[in-house]
Amino acid sequence: MSSGNLSLTPETVNCPICNNFFPKDEIEQHANKCIFLNCSDDLQKRKRSPSPILHSTKPKFSFTQRSPRDVQGSSKAFTSNKSATNLAFKGDIKKISNETKENMPNHDDKIVKKEFDKSFKTPLATQVRPKTLDDFCGQSHILGKGTVLRCLLDKGEIPNMILWGPPGCGKTSLSHVVHEICKKSPTKWKFISLCAASCGIKDVQNFVDIAKNDLKFGKRTVLFMDEIHRFNKKQQDVFLLSVEKGNIILIGATTENPSFSVNNALISRCKVIVLEKLKTDDLYTILENAAQSFDIDVIDDENPAGTFTDKDAGLAIETKALKWLADISDGDAREALSNLQLILNYFHDNENKIITVKDVEDKLKRAHLLYDKAGEEHYNIISAMHKSIRGSDANAALYWTTRMILSGEDPRYIARRLIRAASEDIGNADPQALPLAIAAMQGCQLIGMPEADVLLAQCAIYLARAPKSREADTALARAKQLIKQHKGPQPVVPMQIRNAPTQLMKAMGYGQLEEGQEFTFMPPEYKDVNFFD
């Protein structure tokens, strides 16, 4: 292939000696040959010529992000890099291309778009992560004015703590705020961030040893361990002595219940901070700040959607669209910001575009429901379904059953729980409930999902509406308690109710009632026991 026929594409590279273009895998071989063949005079002349803009070490276009708290009203009040940030986000690719073509021969518009798209490779959730407590949205019950944790962090004091909450609720963002607090006093604090999913015990021990040395010079180390539940309880012992002696300040983050996933000794040395799902209003605020911090206008619902009259107005989004994104994200800020980033990526090259709620609905589907088949939420929802049936609330029973179905729960597991409810909560008050529940489970095994969903719904509704009797379950519990509390050997079976299949057994008195003895099926010491009301 002749080099003269090659144009500048992402697969070609410009030779700095002869200014011709060659494939990437051939450029090194050509450069060695070019240096050898060209005379020194020509080489010096070419070295004095300006290098192409493509090989500049600094990117020509970049985004300038501002803190969300700098946002006041419309995003038009912001100061930004007009030659780069605004042109890129407004999708004015033609202006960028024309400006670059003046200095770069054989330039292709695709190169400019590729440079432009690099700004979106970093997740939006990382780009807009808060740096101060004032920037932090949500979790007012632990970070609101006057709360203990807020007061401590405002004073620059960092306690040992375990952050427990669902994904996207702000655990990592809170650790980032703590990191910024440490930066303000670099001689006092050092911040280390690790993840239990990607590091081992030796890594932790190495950082602990370094922290001990730093402590000798008055510098304390804050160790943030994300996904701390990935370490088993024996592995978590690596933190105990260091936290006990104050060699490190531990901040652990977990989505699992610390009561089951974190060492009890470690919990006793740390404050467990419970973070909740973010409210829709908090998610909307986060999305609005993210959009405005990149000069994306947020258009109020009262303004008609359409095309801007100002040719440089650029990209905008309706408040209804942001509210829809907040509604479908199930309290997960990371999910909401990822969806927003997808939308902005899709429409970034549209000039003077207002993104409407219909645009967002067409491009995105409702987020997945938070449901971990092995986690606490699994047991919370199955308990809610069972208690709704016990309370004869058909609406609630159907709701929680449907939640499990849509979350991908095994229908056979749901059916097993319905069988238990049929016997435990209904029992003999409606003897048909148990066969119906068993039939529902057999139906699930025969036809599977998605057809089996109506079988589960029918069974849940029937059980919720059926008369209730916990007589069997209550009597069973009393019988268990009586047997467990018995002191000494358990009572023997009375002779009169024993089977006597052999002559020897008959001779020993099996199946016979002694003269003067009262007949009873219970052991004599428990003949007056009644397990029923």
DSSP characters over 342-358: HHHHHHTT-TT-EEPHH
Give residue 12's domain range.
3-49
pLDDT at 254: 93
Residues 208-244: tens digit of each pLDDT: 999 999 999 889 999 999 999 999 989 999 999 999 9
Strand order in 354-355's β-sheet? 297-299, 316-318, 354-355
Structural domain contains residue 296 = no
CATH of the domain at 196: 3.40.50.300
Q: Are residues 225 and 264 in the same domain?
A: yes
Structural domain contains residue 450 = yes
Structural domain contains residue 490 = yes
Contact 409, 421 (CB under 8 A): no
Structural domain contains residue 446 = yes
Residues 167-194: tens digit of each pLDDT: 999 999 999 999 999 999 888 999 999 9
Q: Are residues 145 and 232 in the same domain?
A: yes
Residues 125-184: tens digit of each pLDDT: 888 899 999 999 999 999 988 899 999 999 989 999 999 998 999 999 999 999 999 999
Q: Are residues 462 and 477 in the same domain?
A: no
Structural domain contains residue 268 = yes
Residues 301-339: tens digit of each pLDDT: 655 544 444 444 578 898 999 999 998 888 899 999 998
Residues 39-82: tens digit of each pLDDT: 444 444 444 444 443 333 433 333 444 444 444 443 333 333 43
Q: Are residues 481 and 465 in the same domain?
A: no
Structural domain contains residue 178 = yes
Contact 200, 169 (CB under 8 A): no
How far apart CA 379 and CA 375 sit, in angstroms, is: 7
CATH of the domain at 425: 1.20.272.10
Q: Are residues 160 and 214 in the same domain?
A: yes
Q: Domain tally for the chain? A: 4
Structural domain contains residue 83 = no
Q: Are residues 440 and 479 in the same domain?
A: no
Distance of CA 98 to the CA centre of its chain: 43
CA angle 20, 25, 26 (to 5 degrees): 45
How far apart CA 353 and CA 369 sit, in angstroms, is: 31
Q: Are residues 497 and 396 in the same domain?
A: no
Structure tokens at 403: 């939640």
**Which of 454, 469, 484 corresponds to the end of one domain?**
469
Query: How buried is residue 370: exposed, middle or buried, by Cβ count under 10 Å (0-12/13-18/19+)?
Result: middle
Q: Are residues 157 and 33 in the same domain?
A: no
Structural domain contains residue 220 = yes
**Which of 274, 308, 333 corresponds to the end of one domain?**
274
Q: Are residues 241 and 154 in the same domain?
A: yes
For the chain, give the percent of residues with pLDDT over 70: 77
Residues 391-411: tens digit of each pLDDT: 999 999 999 999 999 888 889
**Which of 274, 301, 326 corresponds to the end of one domain?**
274
Q: Are residues 192 and 167 in the same domain?
A: yes
Contact 397, 416 (CB under 8 A): no
Q: Are residues 154 and 216 in the same domain?
A: yes
AA letter at 347: F
For the chain, give the percent of residues with pLDDT over 90: 39
Q: Are residues 515 and 493 in the same domain?
A: yes
